[in-house]
Structure 1
């Protein structure tokens, strides 16, 4: 019911929305808003880099979804990276915290009001999951004795634990602004994920091929792998100073095979040798003069040879794409095109 626009790190800058400039995608980003005053609400994503330099953005409510090693080559240390993320809480407003993530909770210490979200049963003052339902025990009259149903688990698409957490965080931010429970449900049902986020590309010979090129760090890749039981994992790229040991150790039992490419593939290969020694690994090398299509054809062919009916071939690289591709979108597009060529030739 509110005129809103998504702005910030990807797409339309905050200042452009405030100034009434056209949205980055050419759409009327203020549709439904007051024509004289612009959008009612800005839904803002801020990167750790943007927060590093920001001292005046004061959110009405703010959430840190999680903190895991990333961009350490720029920030210098995990502590500095976390501190920059935590600035989103220091700038004011209600703190929405991931109760299942110790860093998120720690960064919100000292906030005037804190609301948690969890994949478990929510305590008073939290949002969580009960009997297949997303429920709110924070934005109700009597949190100790009252809860309101927001949605069902199958309303979250694509379904995966990390996407349920994302939905709860988004619901908490909306509820903080007074959005009714029914509107949260409709918002989740109407949501269509952006490309390259656990996107099912095709099923070929009873093997699913999934594009999660947006998984550009080990934490995101771990969340992606957790959504599938038996995986041929396509990984590699620029790790940006992050460690993959915990990722491989925690998800080794799901791996049927791995196909590695990119600048830091050797680091992932070493982790696999230590923590998943029985998992077959193919390193795709010698591709410096090949086209992107040829590279991905080779990668997909190698993954297909490792896969059995019922498996998922999953592109969840755990690294950035800039060593080989323009961005993660180009990487995902190349993967999807290679899968479709495979399907056509079967």
Structure 2
């Protein structure tokens, strides 16, 4: 069946539109994959790529900057990832930048995030290898989470046991909560501690006032701190020292005198050491006493004698007149 001209035109338009759509799709895909722009290679080494595939995006500080060009297995623990990065961004990526494998959202495809370094270094060159940071794998996270759950279960069981013992009044905390007598004793103890604290505070204030008053010149310590008083005390001490020296000399002289009295030939030695002389002096004193007694008797006799009686009467009258005056 022959085709009409209108059908041919329609077919041509459809083919042209399909080619345009294909070209636009290839352009957008190639632009996204950095296939048509100016790019340079950049490498990073990982222990585990976590499902990273060729064609996944590479981002620098959250900005799409390239794609994964190749994934090469160097050995059992080293995997090299080749990235193609927009050439205009090479001046911003420094040598201390760090590559991390992450995911695009919660369930998105894997991507490589390049994080800027903290130091000041030179920009990377094409073909350079930057540092990498291995991502924590899901199985490791699950293992850690399982261990954490077990520990939480043990802690919960221990906590339940402790709370049960507290509710039953066991242990110190249980006694404090359940025993009313102990609570009252503790309350009284805190009251007495409060009173003791107040008294201690007052004592400390008094002690501070006492220490502050030590500088006052009206008390003993204040006087001792006065330089004039200190000089006077020094003078007194010197005079006492000199006086003690003089006293020592006097004592020495007195000792020498006593020795001379005991051992010498003077009157003192004779008086102190001769017992006969003592007896003589004793008898002499006795005789003097008897003589004075007899003299008094004689004077009384004279008073009563008629020859001297008038004389003594005149003497007594004269004494009475003087006493009245």
Superposition TM-score tier, normalisation by shorter sequence: under 0.3
Higher helix share: 2
**Which structure is higher in RCO with an 8 Å CA cutoff and minimum separation 6?**
1
